[in-house]
Chain A
Amino acid sequence: MTLLEVQDLRTWFAKEEGEVRAVDGVSFHVGEGEAVGLVGESGCGKTVTALSIAGLVPDPPGHIHGSSSIRLRGTELVGLPERRLRRFRGKEVAMVFQDPMSSLNPVRTVGSQISEVVRLHGRLGAREAKRRTVQLLREVEIPDPDTRYREYPHQLSGGMRQRVMIAMALSCEPSLLVADEPTTALDVTIQAQLLELLSGLRRERKMGLLLITHDLAVVAELCDRVVVMYAGKVVETGRVKDVFSQPAHPYTRGLLGSLPRIGSGRRRLAPIVGGVPDPAGWPSGCRFHPRCPHAWGRCSAELPSLRRRGGRAHGEEWTVRCWLEEEPLEPTPDVGKGP
C-alpha cells in the first residue's frame, strides 16, 4: 500500500523576479515502511518538496497549485484546513531538519521540549510524559538519557542534537519521517552513527522515510528507491540498485560521474558542464538540455515525459524523463560513468 502519494506537485513562489517555479510538477510515492531518497543539487526543489509535504510552505510568497495532490494514506493534504493539517503534521508526518540548533529552543532543556510534544500528541500527564521522553532518548541511543533530559541544546554535540530532533519526531509515532539533509552538517563518523540509527529505527517501527539529500552515497546506504530531481522536476526514479549502477538519465549519469569515490585513486572526474540553472527561469524543453552531452534538437523544444523504461527487465518502477528513452537509440558511450 502506498503511504505517501505525491501527484503533480507544483509549489511556486511569487518573487520580485517573477514567479519562481521551485517545484514544478513532481510526482513520486513512498510505500509503507519504504525508504525513498530525494536527491538533487541546490536549487532543484527538493527541500521545497519536503516542506510542501509537511505543509510548511510559507504562503505567501509560496503557493501550492490547486491541481497538485499530496495523499497520505489516501487523505488529500492539499487544501486541507489548517486545523486538520496540524493534526497530520507531527502525528502522521514528522520532519527532521539539517540544523537542529535552529529548531530547538536554546533556553529550554531538551527534555522539556520533547515532553511538551509528547504531552500534546499523547494527552499524557507530566510524569508519564517524562518517562516516555527518557525512553525516546534511550531509543535514539543517547547515552545517559536521565542526565541529558535536563540539559540545554548548547550542551549537546551536533550529533546528539540531531538525535534529540529524531526523538522529538518519533514522539508521535509518525508513519512517515521526512528528513531534510539530516547528516549534512555532521562529521563522517557521526553521520555513520546517525545513518545506522535511522535505518534501525525505520526497520523496527516500519516507518516510511523520505530522505532529502544532495549526497548520493547516503541515499545508496539508506534507501530502497531514489528520486532524482533537477530544476523542479523529477528526472529519474527507480530502485537505488538499478539507478546507481546503470543510470539512465544523462543528469544522473553526470552526477555519478562527478562524484569522487573512495578506492578509485587519483584521477580526473567527468563533471557536468555549467551550473545549476536559476529557478526564476528554467530552460525550455528538457531543463537539462543546456548541460546535456547528448542534447539534440527536440530536447530544447519539448519537455519529455516521465516514462517507464520500456522493454528492459529492471523492475517495474524505473522511470526516466529523457528523449533518448522515449525513442530508444543505440545507447551512447557512457560519458558520465565512473569506472
Chain B
Amino acid sequence: MRPVPERPVDLGHDAEEPAREELLAVRDLRKHFSSRRRFLERRPDPVRAVDGVSFTLRRGETLGLVGESGCGKSTTARAILRLVEPTGGQIRYDGEDVTDMSASALRRFRRRAQMVFQDPEGSLNPRMRVGDALLEVLQVHRLHPGRSARRRRVGELLELVGLLPEHGRRYPHQLSGGQRQRVGIARALSVEPELLVLDEPVSALDVSVQAQILNLLHDLQQELQLTYLLISHDLAVVEQASHRVAVMYLGRIVEVAEAYQVYQAAKHPYTRALLSAIPRIETAGARGRKVLLVGDTPSPIRPPRGCPFHPRCTDSRKDGECGWRVPALEPQLDGGRVACLKVGGDSRSRT
C-alpha cells in the first residue's frame, strides 16, 4: 500500500498535498422511488430522491456530503454501494462500472467498499453476539481460514476500534451506543475495505461519545489508508472530518469544494444560509447576522421548476432565469463547483 506521510495533529487545510488518484466517480446518479400504482388510479409521481448527482472521490480523502433531511444524501450513499438500485447514471469504482456488476463482481466490490450506519442499535442483529457477527463476515468471505485464526482476528478487530476482546461475547443490547458503533465500524473493517461510506455515523450518539468515534475514524483513516464518504446533516461534524465537502439540496449537489472554501467562502446561497443557521458557541449572547431561510424544504415529489432552491433563495432573481433554468454544477476559478445561476461558472463574471 501507498505510504501515507506523517501528518501533524491539526491537519489544517493541506492544500499542497499531492494530487490523489481517483477512486470513485459518480456521474449523473439518479434514484427515483415510484410508489406502487393503485387500482384505477393514476400512477403517482415518483419521489426524486437523487436527481443527477455527480462527484469524484479520491483515494485517501474524506468527502463530506451534507444536507438537510430528505435531500437524498443517504440514498446517494446506498445507491453507490448498490443497496438500492440506481434509476440512472454511472458509478465507477477504481475503473470498474458498479452499476452493471454481476452478483459475484458485486460481492467482490463489497469487500472493497463498506458502510457504517447511523443507528448502531438497529445495524446489529439483536440475536447475535457481536463477536459472532464479526466472525460471520470472516466466514462468508473466507478470510483468515481456521477457527483459531478467525477468533484471533475478531479480537484484533475489536481492539482496533478501541474495544476489548471480551466485548465480543456480549449481545448488542449489552453495549452502550458508542460501543455498538465501534462494533459497526469493526464489522465494516473486517473485510479490509478501501472505501468506507459513513452514513450519519455519530448523529445518534452523545456529544462526548460522538467525539470519540470521530477521532477513531480519524485514526483509522491514517492507519489503514481508508477513503471516506461521510454523510451527515451536521456541518460541524463534516468540517471536522472532511477534506472536501459537497452540499446537497433536493436531490442535487449545489456546491462542492475544498472544505475550507466551503466553510470560509461559501458561494452558493443555500450553503451560506445553512452555515449561518447553525447555532454557535462563539456567538454566546450575540445573536443576529443570520440569513434566515423562509419556509420548508419543498417535497422531492414535485421539486420546483428551475433552480430547486429558488423559492427559498434570498437573492434569486424571481422574475428571471432562476425560475426556469436548472443551473449546472459549474467549475469555479478556485477549483470548486457551484450550481447557481447568479454565481455562474469560471468564465462568467461573478457577483
Spell out A's residues near B (CB within 8 Å).
41-42, 143, 157, 159-160, 187-193, 195-196, 199, 214-218, 220-222, 224, 240-241, 244-245, 254-273, 275-276
Contacts and interface: CB of A to CB of B under 8 A. Distances in A.
Contacts of B211: 257-260, 269-272
Contacts of B234: 260
Given A265-B12, A266-B259, A275-B209, A221 B280 contact: yes
A41 B240 contact: no
A229 to B, nearest CB: 13
Interface in B172-204: 176-179
B264 A263 contact: yes
Kindly list the 7 A-B residue pairs having the minimum CB-CB distance in the complex, ordered from nearest: A271-B211, A258-B211, A192-B277, A260-B240, A187-B68, A217-B279, A41-B206
Interface string B187-229: 0000000000000000000111111101100100000000000
A265 B15 CA distance: 13
A325 B38 CA distance: 68
B69 interface: yes
Interface string B1-31: 0000000011111000000000000000000
A245 B292 contact: no
Contacts, number: 164
Contacts of B13: 265-266
From B209, B281, B287, B296, residue with most partner A Cβ within 10 Å: B281
B337 interface: no
Contact of A188 (B260, B278, B282): B278
Contact of A260 (B237, B275, B297): B237
A265 B259 contact: yes
Contacts of B242: 266
A258 B280 CA distance: 14
A189 B206 contact: no
B296 A157 contact: yes
A212 to B, nearest CB: 15
Nearest to A141: B294
A221 B11 contact: no
B293 interface: yes
B137 to A, nearest CB: 25
B239 interface: yes
Given A188-B235, A216-B207, A220-B284, 7 more contacts: A42-B206, A188-B274, A193-B292, A220-B282, A258-B210, A261-B240, A268-B218
Contacts of B260: 265
A262 B278 contact: yes
B101 interface: no
From A199, A258, A265, residue with most partner B Cβ within 10 Å: A265
A264 B214 CA distance: 15
Interface in B157-178: 176-178
Contacts of B240: 260-261, 264-267, 269
A263 B263 contact: yes
Contacts of A276: 176, 206, 208-209
15 contacts: A188-B68, A188-B277, A192-B292, A217-B281, A221-B283, A240-B285, A262-B263, A263-B264, A265-B11, A266-B11, A266-B243, A266-B259, A268-B218, A273-B212, A275-B176
B133 interface: no
A319 B277 CA distance: 31
Contact of A214 (B10, B11, B207, B237): B207
Contacts of B11: 265-267
B325 to A, nearest CB: 24
Contact of B283 (A220, A254, A260): A220
B233 interface: yes
Interface in B230-277: 233-237, 239-243, 259-260, 263-264, 273-277
Contacts of B281: 216-217, 220, 244, 256, 259, 261
B317 interface: no
B202 to A, nearest CB: 9
